[in-house]
Amino acid sequence: MAVNLTVEQLKMKELISKTDSQQLYPFPSTRFQGSKYKITNWIWENVKDLEFNTVLDAFGGTGSVSHLFKNKGKQVTYNDILKFNFTIGKALIENNHEQLSKEEVDFIITKHNQLNYPTFIQDTFHNVFYLDEENQWLDYVVTNIKKLDNEYKQAIAWFALFQACIIKRPYNLFHRANLYVRTADVKRGFGNKTTWDKPFEEHFINFVKEANKAVFSNGTSCKSISYNALDVPNVEKYDLVYIDTPYISAKGVGTDYLDFYHFLEGMLDYDQWKERILEKYKHLPIEGRGTNEWTKKNKIYNAFDELFNKYSNSTLVVSYRSDGIPSEKEIIELLKKYKNNVIEVHSKDYQYALAHKKSSEILFIAK
């Protein structure tokens, strides 16, 4: 296919050819469940010879794989059903130039006397995830972020706030009201109390620095969108679709991202948060918990089938784990319904954050 490249793209191409499997712009560190950021070079080694210019990252998460493709000069569309992730996609994928300055960071982390700050987090989440003074910090920082008038600068600030919130949580999740894990006066054989107790402000500033370094233009127009992957419009425009669905373990336990990260989704919708909270649960999740087809073992076969059918005109690259439901064999059978050529590649062992035993990371490439 003949393509006319812009000057920026040509420059990028030249740089890429010099950097081989490395990424020119580093991806920020993250403790998000299931992130592939530690294995993006391995993914690239396995897909770099495929012919493609446009790519959809259908279950984008942290955006680490989208960012890899952006680094490699591809026109990337990042998608995730959760709005907090979509905002991360705005900050790190769609954003070509905007960074947060020191003055803007100072504005965000300062409590301004002339402003009348709401107190929703401190009123609602006492003793749930963070200490009282940390909840107060969150109330005014969220309010300050909403006052920024540039959507990409605002998205970087959200990104840094979300990562700071994740890193200060035991297990890096919001699935239990378990502040006591952090505060109990016990000898610990696990966890990272120093990280949990480090002030929000310090984490926030570090993550802004990391995000600023990840912002660049590759000369194409990259986008962040937020749909159920089964409803993404105009799919015929993607040469390649990267698929990294939530994982269901062999025991049938799914990964409910909304339940794991509801607190971040809530902060982003601060003014309506109250109406969305399910008060019957101690960890105060928001409605929608448990409704995702990718978390249910009796729905996931059909979901994969529908997904592969929907994107059957594109090259499919599927990240998978060797011990999940459906099995590797079943995934291959489903892919073969729609694609003639299916290749399976196993990585060296790859340990997931919460897994006790090692499971191997797989890529299915279907053309």
Ligand X SMILES: C[S@@+](CC[C@H](N)C(=O)[O-])C[C@H]1O[C@@H](n2cnc3c(N)ncnc32)[C@H](O)[C@@H]1O
* Residue 76: CB atoms within 10 Å: 30
Binding of residue 82 to ligand X (CB under 6 A): yes
- Map residues 173-212 to x or -, x wherever contact with ligand X holds by CB under 6 A: ----------------------------------------
Is-cis flag, bond preceding 326, omega within 30?
yes
The three-state secondary structure class of 77 is strand
Question: Nearest approach, Cβ of 289 to ligand X (angstroms)?
Answer: 13
Q: Which residue of 44, 56, 61, 169 would you call a contact of ligand X, by CB under 6 A?
A: 61
Please say whether the dihedral angle defined by the alpha carbons of residues 259, 265, 267 and 273, taken in this order, is positive or negative.
negative
The three-state secondary structure class of 189 is coil
Residue of closest CB approach to ligand X: 61
- Map residues 85-114 to x or -, x wherever contact with ligand X holds by CB under 6 A: x-----------------------------
Question: Nearest approach, Cβ of 126 to ligand X (angstroms)?
Answer: 28
Binding of residue 81 to ligand X (CB under 6 A): yes
Name every residue whose Cβ is closer than 8 Å to that of residue 252 and which is 6 or more positions away in sequence.
297, 325
Binding of residue 32 to ligand X (CB under 6 A): yes
Name every residue whose Cβ is closer than 8 Å to that of residue 286 and which is 6 or more positions away in sequence.
258, 262, 265, 266, 273, 276, 277, 278
Question: Nearest approach, Cβ of 62 to ligand X (angstroms)?
Answer: 3
Q: In angstroms, rounded to a whole number, what is the distance separating the alpha carbons of residues 248 and 307?
A: 16
Q: Which lies closer to ligand X via its Cβ, residue 9 or residue 226?
A: 226
Q: Which lies closer to ligand X via its Cβ, residue 65 or residue 205?
A: 65
Binding of residue 73 to ligand X (CB under 6 A): no
Binding of residue 135 to ligand X (CB under 6 A): no
Question: To 10 degrees, the CA torsion angle through 46, 51, 56, 60?
Answer: 20
Q: Which lies closer to ligand X via its Cβ, residue 63 or residue 73?
A: 63
Q: Which residue of 64, 163, 224, 315 would you call a contact of ligand X, by CB under 6 A?
A: 64
Instruction: Check residue 277 and report its DSSP letter.
Output: B
CA distance readout (Å), 364 to 140, 254, 309, 345:
45, 21, 15, 6
Q: Which lies closer to ligand X via its Cβ, residue 22 or residue 119?
A: 22
Binding of residue 144 to ligand X (CB under 6 A): no
CA distance readout (Å), 224 to 170, 210, 243:
29, 19, 16
Binding of residue 224 to ligand X (CB under 6 A): no
Question: Nearest approach, Cβ of 191 to ligand X (angstroms)?
Answer: 22
Question: Nearest approach, Cβ of 143 to ligand X (angstroms)?
Answer: 26
Q: Which lies closer to ligand X via its Cβ, residue 84 or residue 120?
A: 84
Q: Which lies closer to ligand X via its Cβ, residue 15 or residue 353?
A: 353
Q: How many CA atoms lie within 13 A of 60 on its CB side?
A: 36
- Map residues 241-270 to x or -, x wherever contact with ligand X holds by CB under 6 A: ---x-x----------x-------------
Binding of residue 222 to ligand X (CB under 6 A): no
Binding of residue 77 to ligand X (CB under 6 A): no
CA distance readout (Å), 346 to 21, 39, 282, 333, 365:
18, 12, 40, 17, 11
CB 24 within 8 A of CB 41: no
Q: Which residue of 80, 104, 134, 265 would you call a contact of ligand X, by CB under 6 A?
A: 80
Instruction: Check residue 191 and report its DSSP letter.
Output: S
The three-state secondary structure class of 297 is coil
Pick the piece of the chain touching ligand X (CB under 6 A) from 44-52, 54-62, 272-280, 347-355.
54-62
Q: In angstroms, rounded to a whole number, what is the distance separating the alpha carbons of residues 271 and 2?
A: 49
Binding of residue 229 to ligand X (CB under 6 A): yes
CB 224 within 8 A of CB 273: no
Binding of residue 172 to ligand X (CB under 6 A): no
Q: Which residues bind ligand X (CB under 6 A)?
A: 32, 34-37, 59, 61-62, 64-65, 80-82, 85, 228-229, 244, 246, 257, 292, 294
